[in-house]
A = this chain, B = another copy of it.
Amino acid sequence: MIQNQHLTSTMEDYLETIFILSREKGAIRIKNIAKRLGVKMPTVTNMLKNLNEKGFIDYEKHEFLELTEKGLAIGKEIDRRHEIIRSFLTDILKIDYWLADEEACKMEHGMSPETLNRLIKFIDFVQSCPMTGESWLKYFNEYCQFGFETEKCLEHMEKFSKEDKKELILRKKKDENRHQLS
């Protein structure tokens, strides 16, 4: 009973939306799906039939609407991608939240797991590396506004040598203590 497993990015969008709605409220309304996706209700009804046949949702007209295990996995995964990409856009590039959210929608499909993992690591790295972190991201913002300024740049480096470095040495000591305990 292997059904046509082909999943379009539109279908992924529907599953993501249903996933999000199911997290928010009890009942998932066709109206709400339509609103969120910017389509009309009959379009949703159509797609629900389709997703039902393919085994991604349990759906009885006028009655139930629920993700199957398979559908849930996909909805969740797309949502995860969405969050990651939006994080990159808001936290690193400092793009406005709603613009970032919109763009994330367009990028969340098709991106390979490899690239996605790299992106996760990159966000982590920028935030945890003592060379960078929030202060560096602040400098990036200044750079966007004023370009490269040697004077500012030296200031940043002074600050780094004096403050951030000490913090790391502190962190190192904590690490060592932890090792001794275990």
List residues of A whose CB falls within 8 A of some B CB.
89, 92-95, 99-100, 102-103, 106-107, 109-112, 114-115, 118-119, 121-122, 124-125, 128-132, 136, 139-140, 143-144, 148, 150-151, 153-154, 156-157, 160-161, 165, 168-169, 171-172, 175
- B111 near A95 with CB under 8 A, answer no
Could you tell me the dominant secondary structure of chain A's interface residues?
A: helix
Chain B proximity of A170: nearest CB distance (Å):
11
**Tally of this chain's copies:** 2
- B110 near A106 with CB under 8 A, answer yes
Pick the residue among B112, B125, B129, B161 that contacts A103 (CB under 8 A).
B112
Residues of B within 8 A of A139 (CB): 125, 129, 131
Residues of B within 8 A of A172 (CB): 150-151, 154
Chain B proximity of A113: nearest CB distance (Å):
11
Chain B proximity of A29: nearest CB distance (Å):
28
Known: A111-B106, A130-B157, A131-B157. A121 touches B95 (CB 8 A): no
Closest to A103 in B: B115
